[in-house]
Amino acid sequence: MKQTKALILFALVLIALVPRVNAQDEQRFKKIVRELSSAKYQGRGYARNGVRKAGKYLAREYEKSGVDEVTFQPFTLDINTFSGKMQMWADGRKLQAGFDFSMREYSPGVVGEFPVYHVDTLNFDPDRMFADLAKPEYAGCLVACEFWFTYRHNKAFSQLQKAGVCNNAGLIYTWPSPIKFFKAYGHRVVDKPIVWVTPEAIEGVQRVRLNVENEFLKGYETENVIAKVLGRRHDSCYVFTAHYDHIGNLGRHVFYPGANDNASGTATLVTLAQYYAQHKPEFDIYFLAFSGEDANLRGSTWFVEHPVVPLSQIRYLFNIDMIGDDNPTLYCELSEAGMSRFGQFEAINRQLGLFKNIQRGDLAANSDHYPFAMRGVPCIFLENQEGSAFPYYHTPKDDFHTVKTDSYAPVFRLVTTFIERDH
């Protein structure tokens, strides 16, 4: 009899756990990630309006989730784009855009053939480099050097980007494969072209030919997509954020799918909205899908300057970015105001056995939590980095075939349990 009672009690416990364990909708998560990383949205960038199409799709998904309100928060940005011609040859060998080379985000377009000057990094002397570049044989050359070396010697190499300072035509930064493409400083265009190239593609090369078109979009109109679920109390709220934009195109034939970065976070936002629409929360909850993150946090910065809810009413903010990976350790950053509750995250993680560890890094301006953190909002940034999908972010291979779903359910349970324990 005692054994029967114990079995019944065990069964009741299991039944009670089922709704929580299966609360996250992993199939819908995968469907949204697949959709947003498809060619239809062209990398959710600006040149071909992929970000606008993604915003409209996201609003429809919010509405399907049964939220109480969906609104758009429009803003504008200036952004440099590359959706036209994108061709490069190294000593006559054609290189592949997005894999052998890409463009620095603030580079102008460039057409022509150029000699290559390879910087001597072992015996580097800025004065000797400038003297070499003044020689007739290097007139109109492209200066090739490893990126991090140019970063350490920024004073010298920044001069090579300016018109009238040196007679070089531009620069080549080498970066190991997979080659990356960034947009953070694309709000301006420098005087001379700057090309990212893999070391093996440029090693020993004497001449380079380029045919690259850029288009600078002034005052491009985009928007944050905001959903709201009403709670029992309206005096304060929780906030979830994720950016749905990405870096778009590199030429006519290459786009950056952004499945991990950040279709994974965006899809989590939608399934969280669905969960709370079905399980009325204690406090109001906002779901902020930001545009312009890959253009230097433009959407989140606009929001904190024009908030739809007073920032002082935010009990806690969760920024979910790049969780489409399989590292058993979860990475996070917290604002100073958010540190007081970090112990709760660690306790929940241990109790539920979600991640092997939660690694806390220093607060940085690397995602949309940062503008909130700078204004005293309690917040945490959640990212699953350094797994098998991580090498592909900001490359054309960050697609539905390389993204992972291992972290989705644990992140979902971590944040929902955290809110449930706030009474």
pLDDT in tens, 292-319: 999 999 999 999 999 999 999 999 999 9
Q: Is the pLDDT of residue 24 over 80?
A: no
Say if CB 30 and CB 238 are below 8 A apart: no
Q: Are residues 66 and 99 in the same domain?
A: no
* Confidence band, pLDDT 50/70/90 cuts, at residue 12: very low
Q: Sheet containing 357-360: which strands, arranged edge to edge?
A: 69-81, 215-229, 283-290, 233-243, 314-320, 379-383, 329-334, 357-360
Indicate if the pLDDT at residue 146 is higher than 50.
yes
Domain count, the chain: 2
67 lies in the same domain as 90: no
Q: Quick one: which of 27, 210, 226 has its CA closest to 109?
A: 210
- The confidence band for 8, taking pLDDT boundaries of 50, 70 and 90, is very low
pLDDT for 115: 97
Backbone φ and ψ for 184, nearest 5 degrees, come out as -55, -35
Domain that holds residue 174: 86-212
Cβ–Cβ < 8 Å for 261, 181: no
In CATH, what number is assigned to the domain containing residue 41? 3.40.630.10
Domain boundary at 160, 194, 212, which? 212
Same domain? For 261 and 396 the reply is: yes
Confidence at residue 63, expressed as pLDDT on a 0 to 100 scale: 98
pLDDT (mean) for 61-85: 97
Which residue type is seen at 229? Answer: V
Residue 2 structure tokens: 């005692």
* C-alpha–C-alpha distance, residues 19 and 417, integer Å: 13
**Three-state SS at 215:** strand
Condensed to tens digits (0 to 9), the pLDDT of residues 158-179 reads: 999 999 889 999 999 999 999 9
Residue 19 has pLDDT above 90, yes or no: no
For tokens 């003044």, name the residue: 134
| Residues 329 and 231 reside in one and the same domain | yes
CA distance 402 to 223: 28
The answer to whether residue 340 sits within a structural domain is yes
Per-residue pLDDT of 174-225, as tens digits, reads 999 999 999 999 999 999 999 999 999 999 999 999 999 999 999 999 999 9
- Give the tokens for residue 415: 């944040």
What pLDDT, on the 0 to 100 scale, is given for residue 14?
Answer: 42
Q: What is the pLDDT of residues 346-393, one digit of tens each?
A: 999 999 999 999 999 999 999 999 999 999 999 999 999 999 999 999
> Would residue 376 count as lying in a domain?
yes
Q: How far is 171 from 193, CA to CA, in rounded Å?
A: 6
| CATH, residue 135 | 3.50.30.30
Predicted TM-score of the model (pTM) = 0.91
pLDDT digit string, tens, across residues 29-43: 999 999 999 999 999
Residue 249 falls within a domain, yes or no? yes
Is residue 15 included in any domain, yes or no?
no
Shared domain for 323 and 412, answered yes or no, is yes
Domain shared by 384 and 236, yes or no: yes
Percent of the chain with pLDDT over 90: 93
394 and 303 together in one domain: yes
The Cα 320–Cα 299 span in angstroms is 15
Q: What gap in Å lies between CA 241 and CA 58, rounded to an integer?
A: 13
E strand or H helix at 287: strand 283-290
Residue 217, pLDDT score = 97
pLDDT at residue 23 in the model: 65
Query: Is residue 163 located within the same domain as residue 58?
Result: no
pLDDT, position 423: 67
Confidence at residue 9, expressed as pLDDT on a 0 to 100 scale: 46
Those residues with Cβ within 8 angstroms of residue 166's Cβ, 6 or more apart along the chain or in another chain: 130, 133, 134, 159, 160
